[in-house]
Structure 1
């Protein structure tokens, strides 16, 4: 069990620090002023932002009625970091303090917390087991000492106490293979604090990037993303709130699930080329590395002062050897001969069942095909203001098309468009649904060039 759990932990670490600090890694950057976006479980007494105070994980297992269930709760615990300057008789809070060329900033950090418990599956049927999680508060002071021995200030750090509960239950489901549904409710139950009026203050009493690693000693979890057909109805009945459970570990392993606050696929993995954490997983390592190198010396100085992890990124970007930078450019995972279709999927020729040049559609009892003339009557569902200038114009149908949803559309060129021949030669048309045109008949047709 420890090996799959350790493999899963690498992915869980990326989830833990997703969005922890965003490029350009400076406290003054606008996107780093509103922090902690993923997996935040605020205390129940804070409701100003409508962020949840609990998550619910439901997953399915087979042949696991006698298994041991290992639950590992992991989250970030926000740590207040306050810089104080020395003044006669004490200290006063300041935003920034420089000493011997080193800048000290007031900027919150976070500490990774991890709590693990093991529960026998038989003890979870027909009841709900409660696991209480208590993280005490603490406070520390570190003096800022200059080269001359003076103390111009200090850095005060503090954690506020956090209290949470895990409520775990299981039930046997109808069907083959001893199907079991496991439910885990994670709730922030931190006691009310009068001083926490802002989100920044409430976050110090929150579980940030909260997620669960669930493992079993026997049996297997089932994928909720792609369940076997016999368990599909049970999988669709699983209710997950503020979380997304996926299988983790090596492909084929099904004894560990990561209940993630962000959407993942089964068996996610960390690219081996990645040299280290960048905390901005929606971006590309190569791009973030190159961008970091372009920061000015003043920007790098502020980034180093912002957070120890940001300082590590700045240092790594400057020290990464060329051969490792080259690895970030891309990697070939599999070699093979790709199948080349006779025509690309978007080309009408790819579907032998359609023929835009000869297909037709009936409108108001009239068969409309290539060469038919119509009057345009754009409907209300049109969002482009330009369409009002097309209303009432006459046009020539160039093709009758079928989209991927099976709906018919008409490709047309305008009769009074001097560039119609050019558009026709390049396949540049206007597109209308059959209910957005009227057939032209009799004396309305006039003459039009083919």
Structure 2
């Protein structure tokens, strides 16, 4: 079905597998001993971790009563994978079993679950609709035989029964705009009562994990809750979202679909086109994760492949990644915009000077620019007294109210010291900064050669008004 939901599916998949299996992707890795951190809805009887048993999405909709809503709940359900070896006349559970050169590990996998509901807005305005989103228990056994065909063991994959419902309700708000507030609440309704020895793993086997919802509307449009129009701001602030954050999703400018996820996103999130595939981290830095995966030893790679089929896919993908694809992961500039009033680039330099090079902007010159401080022009070579944070010297009143903005304890050692201005810098926000060296620092010449300076705002220095320092004497 080619819908706004399908357009947003790649982002939703990244949410689904956020934290599924963390690099370096092996069952023995410390990071994988505590899993399933996002969007977990535990049975209401399990209170040991204070994790929620329900999540709630509320969002705003512009639509007439004849609009149709498509709601899709997606989550992972744990699939317990137990490896058992032949023992006597039966089987005994074991952490690992090697059969025919292939290692089988006891470890938890997960399967994707989806439930869809197609509802009329008119029906939701009349009464709450309840949709069953649970799944029955299953058990599947896979026999393992050695190369001679003799039984060596088996792999048992098992789901516990999962009980959950989705409650939906709509309300047309009072006022001239006819806004609709839509509520989607997902609840774990398991009646399981944990015993004194019950663990979080026991609860997770009965829980939706990474639960999130996709919402789409025909003949209507959603409003952004992050940046609502002014006339809808009060209504947006009244929406109650619990353990989930709804954002507009799909192509920029579209308002016919929303993704409500257990991680914080911006409107119209997208996966970078340079990303070669999922690394189980929705905020992933692909280059770092790829390089980290490539450092695994051959033994670690075999363990990762045996841990999970999706981890095996990552191993295969990163091992075969060509250099040009890895190079693309260094970063990309999506767009550039010129600040209003900025000087146009120098045509003599723009053809070979990258945009990030300070020399690309000929409107600034750190070595010759100056800034007025207390009526005195301070420029390269000027001598100043340092007042970090605008703080006054002992026994004198503070010059500014900005003394609380710094948090560096070393500032106390710089207060009152004499320094030489090495450059006057201007940042992208139009704020000046002074690069300085200490006048009595014997390594000042080395600091200049390496471009390693101390930095202060103009209101953190006091011009001394005397002759510039002797640059050849180190201060």
Check whether the contact 1:131–1:165 (CA below 8 A) recurs between aligned residues. yes
Q: 1:233 matched to which residue of 2? A: 234
Q: What does 1:216-295 align with in structure 2 at a 5 Å threshold?
A: 216-272=217-273, 274-285=275-286, 288-289=289-290, 291-295=292-296
3-state SS of paired residue (2:185): strand
The residue number in structure 1 matching 2:372 is 359
Q: Give the conservation status (yes or no) of the 8 Å contact 1:143–1:154.
A: yes
Q: 1:279 and 1:335 mapped to 2: Cα distance?
A: 24
CA contact (8 A) 1:360 1:400 kept: no
The answer for the alignment partner of 1:428 in structure 2 is: 453
* Secondary structure of 1:329's aligned partner: helix
Equivalent-residue separation in structure 1 for 2:446 and 2:319 (angstroms)? 54
Matched, 1:307 2:330: no
Shift of 1:95: 0.8
Partners in 2 of 1:25 and 1:317 — Cα distance? 13
Other structure's SS at 2:42 match: coil
Q: Which residue of 2 aligns with 1:123?
A: 123
Q: Is the 8 A contact 1:65 1:180 kept in 2?
A: no
State yes or no: 1:183 paired with 2:187. no
Corresponding residue of 1:100: 100
Matched residues in 2 for 1:9 and 1:409: separation? 46
Counterpart in 1 of 2:110?
A: 110
Contact 2:130-2:168 at 8 Å conserved across structures: yes
> How many angstroms apart in 2 are the aligned matches of 1:319 and 1:423?
44
TM-score by length of 1: 0.79
Distance in 2 of aligned mates of 1:433 and 1:89: 84
The alpha-carbon distance between structure 1 residues 318 and 122, as it changes in their structure 2 partners (threshold 3 A), is: same
Equivalent-residue separation in structure 2 for 1:297 and 1:413 (angstroms): 51
Aligned residues between the structures: 434
So what's the TM-score if we normalise by structure 2?
A: 0.76
Indicate the SS of the match to 1:162.
coil
Pair 377,209 (structure 1): closer, same or farther in 2 beyond 3 Å:
farther
Distance 2:362 2:25 in 1: 50
1:304 is paired with a residue whose SS is: helix
In the aligned structure 2, how far is the partner of 1:64 from the partner of 1:333? 42
Q: Do the aligned partners of 1:214 and 1:257 also contact (CA within 8 Å) in 2? A: yes
Give the corresponding residue for 2:418. Answer: 395
Moved more, 163-172 or 309-318: 309-318
Shift of 1:88: 2.0
Instruction: Structure 2 unaligned segments of length 5 or more: list them.
Output: 346-354, 395-402, 471-475
Distance in 1 between residues matched to 2:100 and 2:393, nearest whole Å: 74
Distance 1:289 1:211 in 2: 27
Shift of residue 262 of structure 1?
1.9
Following superposition, the deviation at residue 287 of structure 1 comes to 5.0
In the alignment, what sits opposite 1:151?
A: 151
Matches within 5 A, 1:50-69: 50-69=50-69
When structure 1 is superposed on structure 2, of 394-403 and 153-162 the one drifting more is 394-403
| Cα drift, residue 52 of structure 1 | 2.1
Moved more, 156-165 or 44-53: 44-53
| CA separation of 1:329 and 1:402: change in aligned 2, threshold 3 A | closer
- Name the CA distance, whole Å, in 1 between partners of 2:336 and 2:134: 56
Is the Cα contact below 8 Å between 2:436 and 2:453 reproduced in 1?
A: no
Deviation at 1:33, TM superposition (A): 1.6
Partner in structure 2 of residue 364 of structure 1: none
Shift of 1:232: 2.7
- What is the CA deviation profile of residues 384-405 of structure 1, one whole-angstrom value per residue up to 9, with x for unaligned ones? 34334345x4436959999999
**Deviation string for 1:272-297 (max 9, x for gaps)?**
55554332343344554455455333
- Structure 2 match to 1:197: 198
Q: Note closer, same or farther for the CA distance 1:290–1:424 as it changes in structure 2 (3 Å cut).
A: closer
Q: Is 2:81 the partner of 1:81?
A: yes
Contact 1:423 1:429 (C-alpha < 8 Å) held by counterparts: no
How far apart in 2 are the matches of 1:102 and 1:373?
71
242-251 or 368-377: bigger deviation: 368-377
**Which consecutive residues of structure 1, in runs of 5 or more, have no partner in the other structure?**
362-366
Distance 1:372 1:110, change over 3 A: closer
Residues 282 and 269 of structure 1: is their aligned pair in 2 closer, same or farther, counting only changes over 3 Å?
A: closer
Decide whether aligned partners of structure 1 residues 373 and 108 sit closer, same or farther in structure 2, where only a CA change above 3 A counts: closer
Contact 1:397–1:410, Cα closer than 8 Å, also in 2:
no
Secondary structure of residue in 2 paired with 1:65 = strand
Output the CA distance in 2 between the equivalents of 1:168 and 1:413. Answer: 65
CA distance in 2, matches of 1:446, 1:411: 18
CA contact (8 A) 2:373 2:463 kept: no
Q: Does structure 1 conserve the Cα–Cα contact (< 8 Å) formed by 2:222 and 2:255?
A: yes
Q: CA deviation at 1:220?
A: 0.9
The residue aligned with 2:3 is 3
